[in-house]
Amino acid sequence: MHIARGLKMERTSLWLALCVAALLAPSVATAQSGSGTLDRVRASGTITFGYYPAASPLSYRNSAGNAEGYSVALCRGIGAVVKQQLGLPNLSVQFVPIDSDPIAAVKSGRVDMMCGPMQPTLSRRKSVSFSIPVL
């Protein structure tokens, strides 16, 4: 029983790591070219994730007013990887509720990344990058 639980946890950890790597791949390439979101994160010491406060169970605001949900958990994992990859152990990870126009929030720099469900239409892809679908 404990072996099965350990294998399941390893598989879950591997899956999360692969998802995080897939989400960060475009950002890492941008950072290596000398511009982009990760440069802004490095300079500010903060990474800011947008989330939908009423999209439970993917993202929502809990009774204490904090971001929670599946998408939020993935973004917390991304924040941990960014801390490690950029060598910033004191990197602040913040969550900002977004009620309307998440594309504008990303484009304006209000948030560095959106954590939540959004269809990657062609018109949206002209404005922002999308990760591979995460199931």
Q: Does 135 fall in a domain?
A: no
Residue 18 predicted with pLDDT over 50: no
| Count of structural domains within the chain | 1
CA 130/CA 3 separation, integer angstroms: 36
Summarize the chain as % helix, strand, coil (round to 5): 50, 15, 35
Residue 66 predicted with pLDDT over 90: yes
pLDDT-derived band at 74 (thresholds 50, 70, 90) equals very high
Q: Identify the residue whose tokens are 């404005």.
A: 127
- Domain with 67, as residue range(s), is 2-117
pLDDT-derived band at 98 (thresholds 50, 70, 90) equals very high
Give the pLDDT score at 133.
Answer: 67
CATH of the domain at 19: 3.40.190.10
Residue 86 predicted with pLDDT over 60: yes
